[in-house]
């Protein structure tokens, strides 16, 4: 059986590693993949197609008897890759375009949650600056901070937390007049600030049945102590101790089941991966966001902790039998530390030589997943903001962190930036 993975990040490298473990898989193609997937060899190879070349991807999949396609990032989902593949009878993991609105339109997601009584912050949606400013002007001081979000896709960077009225008004000017988020902010969601701690849970679903991966915690800010700009994610660990079995039960009852049932009832059955970003305050979950895919870097800790075969579970989610397929997790913990280029998340350096000490990957418990890397002749060089995601497993979070950081110390490129406090809050 041949598989196609769409995307180029460390998440897609982690998918390739997990799927290659299935003996029935003959070939895995990554479109376009990265330097790390180019190095895997064996059944894994990169193809020169980008994630948004939908017609070419379909043609490739048909020509190469691809039995199943896995979509890593959100943009092809928003563009309708699942609708396109299914129309040709191809099996693919992800939601159709209309269901991917849970991620691609925050206004849709918020209205959907309101319709179905799913816990989330109180909000309003605006299409022009004047009405947004007049709403802000009418709020009493105790309603701040307020969170101002571009409704459309913004690579996790379209959110401004305004501590007071003045900051909110400045943010609205930047969004509506200076267009800092471009057309992603044609609609703007303004919502109440949620207190608590963040965690994410991930389900694989066929539209009615679902299976849960372990919970995880991302680190979105570039700086230690959660300071500085938002990034795509600088590190993660799983499981998140915050998501106790009791909290997980509430998340299933209050969020996951009503979301799947609500989407189905609205004629928009949701399939694929459902990522629920949550704020948990004294054991009570509230939804911060939905994503229509697995997270990056969360995938790099969640997939290595899946003991059962990923490929069999994905096939069951499209062919039936998701409720009975083995879906067991390893005990212990996983941590991943992202190494980024100097300057990220703003303009960053690239073309730097990467050296990895051969000792770095001497254990099955350590995995170096590539993101912004490529080969320049024989040399591995940096090509992106997030360069590598170094994952380690351990019997405890402390042990996995210690192994991950030891490995980071064996990798070098000029200007490498990484956070030294991944997982520190949970220790
Ligand atoms: P989002 O793209 O909606 O996930 O927002 C990005 C990040 O902004 C989240 O991971 C949170 O850290 C923060 N955030 C978003 N909405 C809220 C909220 N209502 N209250 C507090 N923090 C929030
Ligand atoms: N790490 C957050 C995301 O993938 O959206």
What is the CA(141)–ligand 2 centre distance, in A?
A: 32
Whether the link from the prior residue into 284 is cis, omega within 30° of 0, is: no
CA 148 – CA 82 distance, rounded (Å): 30
Nearest atom of ligand 2 to the alpha carbon of 233: 1
What is the CA(93)–ligand 1 centre distance, in A?
A: 26
For the beta carbon of residue 312, count every other beta carbon within 10 angstroms: 15
Could you tell me the sign of the dihedral formed by the alpha carbons of 50, 34, 101, 90, in that order?
positive
- In the chain, CATH 3.90.600.10 covers 333-417
Q: In this structure, which residue's CA is closest to atom 5 in ligand 2?
A: 295
> Is ligand 2 within 6 A of the CB of residue 218?
yes
- In the chain, CATH 3.30.470.20 covers 197-324
What is the CA(24)–ligand 1 centre distance, in A?
A: 41
**CATH fold for the domain made of 197-324:** D-amino Acid Aminotransferase; Chain A, domain 1 (3.30.470)
Calculate the CA dihedral of residues 259, 264, 270, 271 and round it to 10 degrees. Answer: 120
Cβ < 6 A, ligand 1 pocket: 121, 147, 149, 156, 159, 191, 193-194, 198, 220, 277, 288-289
Nearest atom of ligand 2 to the alpha carbon of 298: 1
CATH architecture of the domain formed by 333-417: Alpha-Beta Complex (3.90)
Tokens of residue 30, six digits: 């990554």
Q: What tens digit of pLDDT does each residue of 188-236 get?
A: 999 999 999 999 999 999 999 999 999 999 999 999 999 998 899 999 9
What is the CA(98)–ligand 1 centre distance, in A?
A: 23
- Are the CB atoms for 154 and 128 separated by under 8 Å? no
What is the CA(295)–ligand 2 centre distance, in A?
A: 4
Helix, strand or coil, per DSSP, at residue 141? helix
> Is ligand 2 within 6 A of the CB of residue 298?
yes
Between 1.10.3470, 2.40.30, 3.40.50, 3.30.1490, what CATH number should domain 128-186 receive?
3.30.1490
Provide DSSP, 302-360: HTTTB-S-HHHHHHHHHHS-TTTS---B-SSEEEEEEEE-TTTTSS-----B-EE-GGG
Q: What tens digit of pLDDT does each residue of 66-116 get?
A: 999 999 999 999 999 999 999 999 999 999 999 999 999 999 999 999 999
- In the chain, CATH 3.30.1490 covers 128-186
- Give the residues across from 3 on adjacent strands: 28, 68
pLDDT (tens, 9 = 90+) of the chain, 427 residues, equals 999 999 999 999 999 999 999 999 999 999 999 999 999 999 999 999 999 999 999 999 999 999 999 999 999 999 999 999 999 999 999 999 999 999 999 999 999 999 999 999 999 999 999 999 999 999 999 999 999 999 999 877 789 999 999 999 999 999 999 999 999 999 999 999 999 999 999 999 999 999 999 999 999 999 999 999 889 999 999 999 999 999 999 999 999 999 999 999 999 999 999 999 999 999 999 999 999 999 999 999 999 999 999 999 999 999 999 999 999 999 999 999 999 999 999 999 999 999 999 999 878 899 999 999 999 999 999 999 999 999 999 999 999 999 999 999 999 999 999 999 999 989 8
Between 3.30.70.980, 2.60.40.10, 3.40.50.20, 2.40.37.10, what CATH number should domain 2-94 receive?
3.40.50.20
Angle at 19 between CA 15 and CA 25, to 5 degrees: 145
- In the chain, CATH 3.40.50.20 covers 2-94
Ligand lying nearest the CA atom of residue 292: 2
CA distances from 119 to 109, 258, 279, 288 (A): 12, 11, 10, 9
């Amino acid at each position: 059986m041949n598989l196609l993975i769409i995307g180029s990040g460390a998440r897609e490298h982690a998918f390739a590693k997990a799927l290659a473990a299935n003996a029935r898989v003959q070939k895995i193609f990554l479109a376009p993949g990265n330097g790390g997937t180019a190095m895997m060899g064996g059944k894994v190879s990169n193809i020169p197609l980008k994630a948004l070349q939908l017609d070419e991807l379909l043609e490739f999949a048909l020509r190469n008897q691809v039995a199943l396609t896995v979509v890593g990032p959100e943009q092809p989902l928003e563009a309708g890759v699942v609708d396109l593949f299914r129309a040709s009878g191809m099996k693919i993991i992800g939601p159709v375009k209309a269901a991917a609105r849970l991620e691609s339109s925050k206004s849709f997601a918020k209205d959907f949650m309101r319709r179905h009584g799913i816990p989330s912050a109180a909000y309003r949606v605006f299409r022009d600056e004047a009405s947004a400013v007049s709403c802000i002007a009418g709020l009493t001081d105790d309603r701040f901070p307020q969170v101002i979000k571009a409704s459309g896709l913004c690579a996790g960077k379209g959110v401004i937390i305004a501590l007071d009225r003045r900051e909110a008004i400045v943010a609205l000017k930047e969004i509506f007049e200076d267009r800092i988020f471009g057309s992603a902010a044609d609609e703007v969601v303004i919502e109440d600030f949620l207190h608590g701690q963040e965690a994410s849970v991930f389900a694989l679903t066929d539209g009615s049945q679902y299976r849960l991966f372990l919970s995880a915690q991302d680190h979105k800010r570039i700086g230690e102590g959660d300071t500085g700009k938002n990034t795509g994610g600088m590190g993660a660990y799983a499981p998140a101790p915050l998501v106790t079995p009791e909290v997980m039960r509430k998340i299933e009852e209050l969020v996951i089941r009503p979301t799947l049932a609500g989407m189905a009832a609205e004629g928009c059955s949701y399939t694929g991966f459902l990522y629920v970003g949550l704020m948990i305050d004294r054991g009570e979950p509230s939804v911060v966001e939905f994503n229509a895919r697995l997270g990056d870097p969360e995938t790099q800790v969640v997939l290595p902790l899946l003991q059962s075969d990923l490929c069999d579970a994905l096939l069951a989610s499209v062919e039936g039998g998701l409720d009975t397929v083995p879906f067991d997790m390893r005990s212990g913990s996983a941590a991943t530390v992202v190494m980024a280029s100097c300057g990220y998340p703003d303009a960053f350096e690239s073309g730097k030589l990467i050296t990895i000490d051969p000792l770095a990957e001497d254990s099955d418990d350590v995995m170096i997943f590539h993101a912004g890397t490529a080969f320049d002749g024989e040399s591995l060089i940096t090509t992106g903001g997030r360069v590598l995601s170094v994952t380690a497993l351990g019997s405890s979070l402390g042990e996995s962190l210690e192994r991950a950081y030891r490995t980071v110390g064996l990798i070098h490129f000029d200007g490498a930036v990484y956070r030294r406090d991944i997982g520190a809050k949970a220790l």
